[in-house]
Structure 1
Amino acid sequence: MIGTPPGGFAGPVKRSVTIAGHQTSISLEPAFWDALESAAMAHALPLNALVAQVDALRITAADPPNLASALRTWLLYLAIDAQ
């Protein structure tokens, strides 16, 4: 049997970040924002810098996903690698 995630289910929250001097909005669920902030702290980077690094990796893909999808995927693989 599966259960409800801690804190329940929540829809996306839009936040602004600055990448290469330009502001952009990203919509992520609160759990992903929390994970992204934790990852930034673990890498000793400001949140904007971490997002910029993931964005730089994303745009090298043959068919780049949108930034929110790239962040979710990066965080998922980060969590899997930690296990």
Structure 2
Amino acid sequence: MDERYHPPVKRSITIAGHQTSLTLEPLFWRGLERAAEAENLPLSALVARIDAERLEAGHPPNLASAIRSWLYGNFLRD
């Protein structure tokens, strides 16, 4: 199956001491893992940072949307 069209995958992750689940397509999970490696951070620390940034927005999106937008803005666009 082409990864671009693979259904979302749910994973558990701890953010600021809270266990939560996050559902992203494998393409975004891989991008998030690469971004964490590039920034020399554990995956959970990068997600916590994105979460904190999104909460500062006037109308914050859900966390999965914020991660996709963050990845696009920082790592995925040409």
Same fold (TM over 0.5): yes
The runs of 5 or more residues in structure 1 that have no matched partner are: 1-5
Pick aligned residue for 1:56 from 31, 46, 52:
52
Query: For structure 2, which runs of at least 5 residues remain unmatched after alignment?
Result: none
Amino acid at match of 1:26: L
Partner of 1:30: 26
SS at match of 1:45: coil
Indicate the residue corresponding to 1:75 in structure 2: 71
**Aligned partners of 1:8 and 1:20: how far apart in 2?**
30
Q: Kindly report the root-mean-square deviation, in angstroms, between the aligned alpha carbons of the 2 structures.
A: 1.1
C-alpha separation in 2, matches of 1:71 and 1:7:
18
Pair 1:8–1:58, CA change in 2 (3 A): closer
Please name the residue that 2:5 is paired with: 9
Poorly superposed stretches of 4+, deviation over 6 Å: none
The alignment's TM-score, normalised by the length of structure 1, stands at 0.86
- Paired with 2:68 and 2:22, the residues of 1 have a C-alpha distance of 11
CA drift of 1:70 comes to 0.1
Q: Structure 2 CA distance, aligned partners of 1:20 and 1:27?
A: 18
CA distance in 1, matches of 2:33, 2:52: 18
Which residue identity does 1:69 align to in structure 2? S
Distance 2:28 2:35 in 1: 10
Larger radius of gyration: 1
Aligned residues: 76
